[in-house]
Amino acid sequence: MNAVVLAVIVMLALSFARVHVVIALIVGALSGGLLAGMGLTATMDSFTTGIANGASIALSYAMLGAFAVAIAHSGLPQAFAGWVVEKARTGGKGLWLKWGLLTVVLLAGIASQNVVPIHIAFIPLLIPPLLVAFNHFKVDRRLLACVMTFGLVTTYMYLPYGFGNVFLNEILLANINQAGMDTAGINVMTAMGIPALGMVAGLLIAVFVTYRRPRTYADLPVAGEETTVPTQKVETYRIVVALIAIVLSLVIQIWADSLLLGALVGFGVFLASRIVRWGEAGDVFDRGMKMMAMIGFIMIAAQGFAQVMRDTGHVDSLVTASAAMFGGSKLVGSLIMLLVGLLVTLGIGSSFSTLPIITAIYVPLCVALGFSPLATVSIIGTAGALGDAGSPASDSTLGPTAGLNADGQHDHIRDTVIPTFIHYNIPLLLAGWAAAMVL
């Protein structure tokens, strides 16, 4: 058996059996490394090398957690949540407010990829303080996970701006050109339009069919806070400082291309303004670290897992071996290429990392099978995006879990991974398959 296939199966099986994702990633990496003949020592060395690559990411998100708790300490998000709940109770406009909040979450996810490219950084800032409002409307958090993941994935795989420019132009088209196919004149939005419609279909099913029924949650404190919604009016000064800190943090992050530095500067604003007093800083920082600790450890372990998968050398053999199954059929060939892309991304947890791995082999296969350049771009782009939603190790699922589980009532596998896998990978696979046939 191919080492990558075994490693991903072991990792997913353990995760779905409610073994902690970090342990599942370690055991899966060991299984793949040993099957590939790397030996125990070499496998662990490879895993350790990958961990080093994930440490900076984890540190950035730990700092972001501290910044998020500082924002919550200012009272701004809770005041907004309290205002929403009060309007719902007294204004008779609960339905409008509910759909307005869902729209805000969706637009925030889209903007985080293309307008203000901060990726999942908006989630721990926006979602935890609003949980009490969503609880009031009895919104199923699995729906919220699907809404956020749609914004995080669909926009970068369709709109060529921000992270979308990186994915579509700098990685997808650049690697296809490097593999020998001329992509001049190809409109990536045309190539990825049908697959994007598959994602839209998944979102509509989640919103209006699967998770339309109300679900009850308890109003529990978030990230160590003693209350859920403040009972007293928040001072204007605290709100203004919080807004300044958020804007400055975003500006610094975009300018310096550093999530860590942006969160650090934002946290510093709260200290300088004495919204967070010097004596409270340690406690606020600790609570933020605890909020993001699980996500950070999963990110670190995921990098180790991905490094082992690369070092086995079985990713290329997996892609090459799948070519023998085509039998000259475009229908079968496109399906197998999409399924292999899904498997690789599920294991690595990153669509951006999958594209360079598969493109060099997929381009000549597509040419041999007679696919047009436009269809080739669509197949490879969809194969890379498949698995980002629904992977236990993807930040597109880890991010929503970090926000929705801030009060301990949202499970990563059952409430984020499985719902997003079902609602996005299946329609995306079908839509990508259809695009390969008609483009």
Its pTM stands at 0.72
Range ranked top by mean pLDDT from 146-155, 247-256, 280-289, 344-353? 146-155
Could you give the CA distance from residue 27 to residue 227 in angstroms, rounded to a whole number? 39
Query: CB atoms < 10 A from the CB of 239, how many?
Result: 15
Note the pLDDT tens digit of each residue in 231-249: 445 677 877 888 888 788 7
Q: What is the 3-state secondary structure (H, E, C) of 337-393?
A: HHHHHHHHHHHHCCHHHHHHHHHHHHHHHHHHHCCCHHHHHHHHHHHHHCCCCCCCC
State the pLDDT at residue 410: 92
Note the pLDDT tens digit of each residue in 354-402: 776 677 678 878 887 888 999 999 999 999 888 888 888 788 888 899 8
Cβ within 8 Å of residue 233, ≥6 positions away: 79
From first CA to last CA, the distance across the chain in angstroms is 34
Could you give the CA distance from residue 298 to residue 169 in angstroms, rounded to a whole number? 29
The dihedral sign for the CA sequence 108, 103, 65, 344: negative
Residue (of 62, 54, 68, 64) closest to 26 by Cα position: 54
Range ranked top by mean pLDDT from 269-278, 331-340, 430-439? 430-439
Average pLDDT over residues 328-342: 85
Q: Are 36 and 314 in contact (CB under 8 A)?
A: yes
- What is residue 77's three-state secondary structure? helix
DSSP secondary-structure letter at 235? Answer: P
State the pLDDT at residue 377: 92
Note the pLDDT tens digit of each residue in 44-66: 988 888 887 667 767 776 777 77
Q: Is pLDDT above 70 for 324?
A: no
Could you give the CA distance from residue 304 to residue 222 in angstroms, rounded to a whole number? 31
Average pLDDT over residues 213-226: 75
Q: Are 373 and 184 in contact (CB under 8 A)?
A: no
Q: What is the 3-state secondary structure (H, E, C) of 51-70?
A: HHHHHHHHHHHHHHHHHHHH
Q: Are 287 and 72 in contact (CB under 8 A)?
A: no
